[in-house]
Amino acid sequence: MIDIKRRAAELGFAATGIARLDRNPHADELDRWLADGHAGTMTYLHRQADKRKDPRLIMPKAQSAVVTLTNYCHEAGVASPAATPRVAQYAWSSDYHDVLGERLEQLASAIREIVPGSATRCYVDAGPVPERELAQLAGLGWIGKNMMLIHPEIGSFTFIGVVLTDAALEPDLPFEADRCGTCRRCLDACPTQAFAGPRDLDARACISYLTIEHRGEFTATEATQVGEWLFGCDVCQDVCPWNVSFARATLDPGFAPHPDIARPDVGQLVTMNEQEFERRYDGTPLTRPGHRGMRRNAAAVLTPSPPLHDVEPGNDL
Ligand code: B12
Ligand code: SF4
Ligand code: SF4
């Protein structure tokens, strides 16, 4: 399957692997995570559970997943950046669903040429695909204690994109090693102590969930939890030694940073009307919480916060 990987590299994907589709070996972990209520109000995760537990159900006769990583890192090796408010790096550029959607379609058409008569379907962060699981099975890295897929030479500031196909492609070996070892920096550094344990994130306490997925106003506690984060959160990745050592800024023109997002004017965001918001942020990830959600986030960032009781002293942020 060298041809598929060569084509993927030409399209700008940083790494590509192939997994044979089978029942998800960590289906029980997903069930437990959902039963514990850790998905919060993301009810679609409950609805999609059967497909995530057995990705062969996603597409008729699906046999293989071609899994890609795309590096979106902008500031490499930064454990405590000075600029506030902060926006997670994955959101600094045009919407990755659009940029990667097009690239994955091109990769899919290469697969159909290489295996005539095959069918394909493309996914990036929208659909019932267990993306991190498939990336690990395709040999692209291990799942860290922070739940991120970590590539040993790129780190975790990557998007995962998947092409499912009914073609029986030769699979790569899964990435079996767990290179976290005894480290637990991500768990200790999380500003809201959102990890119930290694690889067990209670999304309800996660800043990324609160600022992007949560609908409605914040409670006083939630507004405090958000802290300096206007959109998303990178702390559990910033502190990871694999990112500190190996993440490098992307040169991909499709992910050039927009200054309005990377260094936003939070005062303006609070007062911005909907029309202006759409003019500035249309086609960017900030449209997910939308005008209302971003105004809420901006107001929370501007509210002076008392220190969180449950942040342990001496963590390194
Ligand atoms: C829902 C969701 C969220 C939720 C919940 C996060 C979570 N930890 O589950 C919220 C909104 C909080 C979120 C936040 C973020 N997200 Co998100 N999110 C998703 C989404 C849509 C589904 C994930 C899911 O199913 N979660 C439920 C858990 C239980 O499933 P899981 O993450 O697949 O975990 C499996 C493994 O951990 C495995 N497992 C358990 N134990 C073990 C042990 C071993 C040894 C192994 C091998 C496996 C294993 O079992 C689990 C179930 O199969 C995916 C896209 C997708 N379709 O998969 C993106 C995705 C995971 N998110 C992504 C990103 C970039 C982020 C953020 C970094 C964004 C940000 N900067 O703010 C944060 C990171 C927070 C974090 N530390 O996880 C990327 C991750 C890329 C990568 N390199 O890993 C994805 C893949 C989107 C994409 N296509 O690029 N996200
Ligand atoms: S993204 Fe931020 S809030 Fe969420 S688990 Fe990681 S460090 Fe904690
Ligand atoms: S910070 Fe440490 S424990 Fe967390 S994901 Fe990185 S290596 Fe693993």
Asked if 168 and 132 touch (Cβ cutoff 8 Å), the reply is: no
pLDDT at 305 (0 to 100): 67
150 pLDDT above the threshold of 70: yes
Mark whether 125 is an active-site residue: yes
Distance of CA 168 from the midpoint of ligand 3 (Å): 34
Q: Give tens-digit pLDDT for 88-127.
A: 999 999 999 999 999 999 999 999 999 999 999 999 999 9
Q: Which residue type, as a one-letter code, is found at position 170?
A: E
- CA torsion sign for 79, 83, 85, 91 is negative
DSSP 248-265: -----GGGPPPHHHHS--
More confident residue, 211 or 77: 211
- Ligand minimally distant from the alpha carbon of residue 179: 3
Q: Is the CB of 11 under 6 A from ligand 2?
A: no
Q: Is the CB of 87 under 6 A from ligand 1?
A: no
pLDDT at 306 (0 to 100): 64
Confidence of residue 82 (pLDDT cuts 50, 70, 90): low
Q: Give tens-digit pLDDT for 171-202.
A: 999 999 999 999 999 999 999 999 999 999 99
Distance of CA 80 from the midpoint of ligand 3 (Å): 16
What token pair was written down for 87?
A: 């926006």
pLDDT at 78 (0 to 100): 62
Distance CA 153, CA 243 (A): 9
